[in-house]
Amino acid sequence: MSSGRNRLAKKGRWVVKIGSALLTDDGKGLDQKAIALWVDQLVRLRAEGTEIVLVSSGAVAEGMTRLGWKDRPSEVYRLQAAAAVGQMGLVQAWEAQFMRHGIHTAQVLLTHDDLSNRKRYLNARSTLRTLIELGVVAVINENDTVITSEIRFGDNDTLGALVANAVEADALILLTDQKGLFDADPRHNPDAQMISEARAEEERVLAVAGDGGKLGRGGMATKVRAARLAARSGAVTVIASGREPEVLVRLKSGEALGTLLTPDRGPVAARKQWIAGHLQARGTLVVDAGAVSALTSSGRSLLPAGVVDVSGDFSRGEMVVVADETGAVIARGLVNYGADDARRIAGKPTRDIESILGFVGEAELIHRDNMVLA
């Protein structure tokens, strides 16, 4: 088994994204039988220790069916209205199927901005991680009411990748209506061959990926781009057919189904680069010797108690530098509290956060997962 396939066989966290064509049987209405079968598989994976987050498309397609529309409208406001109608059916279908197994689901509607803006990213991340801890399956879709470009291009693949980044998933599984990525679009080239495994960054992989079908979807191009995004936090991506019997369970057992797209870096290195890469530091937290040792020797999160000084003007989710009392930079990370709140809780025990601020966002000022040591 290749090392990428091997990663799928381990316990881990999967983001499973199911596309519109599959969910609605190519626009004919929600395929309840297929949904029941995917849920049975997801429940088995969970029982074996895999954590699952679901990204479900299909709101526009289901809304069109419910409203009796034959053709996908080009007006964005009509697409948004259709999505609002269809989303009702979508969440009902997932909830009913998971309830058969006594598993709670949660509806989460997100935009790409929510996962790019640092503050909202941290908020979405905390909610999703809490749902995972509670054993609830999040059913995520785009918040189509407030977005325009994503709905025009029909792209939940990117959303799946951003979610994979946010929850630090080990794998992003893109279930679609083809067996995988072919070296040419099989709708137009009957001789096209499937690519079983490649690096997400390989040029040829993006070069062969074409657009989607009549439901106005992103096609393979958005899937390959999603794999590249997912690779930023070290996740592997699989593009596979949701119609393949037991596809999820078989992937988990390491079977070489679909196309596996692998990251160039391991999860830790990829994530560190992602945090450090694009952001400018907005402030500095000066920490005492105890905190320096907790961060550098014990790999701990930064608690307010160890902070002796806060400078700069930053908001929750922005990047700050952590320095020791001589000014040497120890780490960088995404801060859980804005500058004013950070100043008020600096030097205080975590248990006092609530009485000082009137709420507790997080116990840490910077969680170790959001921190890169210098």
Ligand X SMILES: Nc1ncnc2c1ncn2[C@@H]1O[C@H](COP(=O)(O)OP(=O)(O)O)[C@@H](O)[C@H]1O
Ligand Y SMILES: N[C@@H](CCC(=O)OP(=O)(O)O)C(=O)O
57 binds ligand Y (CB under 6 A): yes
Interface with ligand X (CB under 6 A), residue from 159, 220, 330, 372: 220
Residue 354, SS3 per DSSP: helix
Nearer to ligand X by Cβ, of 182 and 314: the residue is 182
- Measuring CA to CA, which residue among 135, 163, 181 is closest to residue 17? 163
If phi > 0 it is left, if psi is from -120 to 50 it is alpha, else beta; for residue 166 that is alpha
* Interface of this chain with ligand Y, residues 282 to 301, rule: CB under 6 A: none
Q: Residues 201-240 vs ligand Y: string with x where CB under 6 A?
A: ----------------xx----------------------
Amino acid found at 25: D
Interface with ligand X (CB under 6 A), residue from 63, 89, 219, 333: 219
Interface with ligand X (CB under 6 A), residue from 131, 151, 208, 346: 208
89 binds ligand Y (CB under 6 A): no
Q: Residues 56-75 vs ligand X: string with x where CB under 6 A?
A: -x------------------
177 binds ligand X (CB under 6 A): yes
C-alpha distances (whole Å) from 219 to each of 31, 153, 174, 292, 369 are 20, 10, 11, 48, 33
Q: Residues 129-168 vs ligand X: string with x where CB under 6 A?
A: ----------------------------------------
State the minimum distance, in angstroms, from the CB of residue 93 to ligand Y.
Answer: 13
> Which partner, ligand Y, ligand X, none, binds residue 210 by CB below 5 to 8 Å per kind?
ligand X
Would you tell me the crossing angle of helices 267-277 and 219-232 to the nearest 10 degrees?
90
Q: Is 33 known to sit in a ligand binding site?
A: no
209 binds ligand X (CB under 6 A): yes
Identify whether the C-beta of residue 261 lies closer than 8 Å to the C-beta of residue 236: yes
* Interface of this chain with ligand X, residues 291 to 350, rule: CB under 6 A: none
Nearer to ligand X by Cβ, of 184 and 249: the residue is 184
* Chain centroid, CA 246 distance in Å: 23
What are the helix (H) ranges across 167-288?
203-208, 219-232, 247-252, 267-277
Burial class, 258, CB count within 10 angstroms (exposed 0-12 / middle 13-18 / buried 19+): buried
Neighbours of 6 (CB within 10 A): 11
> Which partner, ligand Y, ligand X, none, binds residue 114 by CB below 5 to 8 Å per kind?
none
Provide long-range contacts, Cβ within 8 A and 24+ apart, for 186-193.
187/213
CA dist 260 and 237 (Å) reads: 6
CA dist 114 and 123 (Å) reads: 9
Q: Which residue is nearest to ligand X (CB)?
A: 19
Relative to beta strand 236-241, strand 51-56 is: unpaired
Q: Is 148 known to sit in a ligand binding site?
A: no
Q: Is 143 known to sit in a ligand binding site?
A: no
Relative to beta strand 105-110, strand 283-287 is: unpaired
Q: Is 116 known to sit in a ligand binding site?
A: no
Binding stretches for ligand Y (CB under 6 A): 19-20, 57-61, 83, 141-142, 144, 151, 154-156, 217-218
| Binding-site ranges for ligand X (CB under 6 A) | 19-22, 57, 176-178, 181-182, 184-187, 208-210, 212-213, 217-220
